[in-house]
Amino acid sequence: MPELPEVETIVSALRDGRSEYHASVVGLTVGDAEVLWPKTLAAPTEEEFQTRIREQMITGLSRRGKFLVFCLATDHLLIHLRMSGDLRLEGIQDESGNPKPFDKHDRLALNFTEGSRLVFNDTRKFGRVWLAKDPVDITGNLGPEPLDESFTAQQFHQMLTARGRQLKPLLMDQTFIAGLGNIYTDEALHLARLHPLSQSSQITPDQSGGLLEAIRAVLSEGIRRNGASIDWVYRGGDFQNHFRAYGRTGEPCPECGTLIERLVVGQRGTHICPNCQPIL
């Protein structure tokens, strides 16, 4: 599943004109929409969606947690990529001037009056799209943004100690903190030298401060490297070539040389250095 750095990379490409189509979606006006798989549209109804989105211009694009948030003239379009979602901006016609056919796993498309279209492709069909007046209606239960400078180490420590949960499942809970998934949680915990099964209520202020620094460091590095490309879903980044722990079972820890081990935490494959990350 694309995590915060991968979603941020997609947002930047579409917003700043760095996609394969080399154009920005900002300033484009929706002529009409095509819902190719009805369950992709979470809300509103397809009829209302088709009516409301028509002739709305995209005025901005941002990210909240793992959501892409398109600011329209009067509404907001939110997209969650889930396990296998992807977006591409392309021309509506092929090189011969014929209508370009959709791919097998395309689920929804916005056709712009300028002659291009934004297509949501999702092989596993878990991704969802919302059209809402206020994006908070969809994202209101998300936790703080970890890269937000106003999110302090003291606040983070209070949040951790108020909950008696294992660190990794807690960090992956989007209502606790937004944007972290399996990869960047493993990377942050390794950098902070904390075991994923440690109890959050036992974390000291220094440890929580170090963990927040580690989270910000791995997310920022992930963004700098355009995310991680580890399977057929997300492509283009190279952070996978710089993992400290994730997916490195049996390889030496970059800090101490101890072999990285794999365990299962909350039904998720988890990677640790048993020497650097003793359980509390």
- What residues are labeled active site? 2-3, 66, 268
DSSP for 166-215 reads BHHHHHT-TTTSSS--HHHHHHHHHHHT--TTSBGGG--HHHHHHHHHHH
Three-point CA angle 172, 176, 180, nearest 5°:
35
The rounded distance, in Å, linking the Cα atoms of 210 and 114 is 48
DSSP for 97-143 reads SSBPPPPTTEEEEEEETTSEEEEEEETTS--EEEEESSTHHHHTT--
- Side-chain-facing half-sphere of 183: CA atoms under 13 Å: 22
Closest CA to 80 of 111, 51, 120: 120
Closest CA to 4 of 220, 236, 237, 229: 220
At 235, list the tokens. Answer: 């492509």
Beta bridge partners of 35: 108
At 132, list the tokens. Answer: 């809402």
The rounded distance, in Å, linking the Cα atoms of 192 and 277 is 8
DSSP type of residue 253:
P
Q: Burial-class residue 246 by CB neighbours within 10 Å (0-12, 13-18, 19+).
A: buried
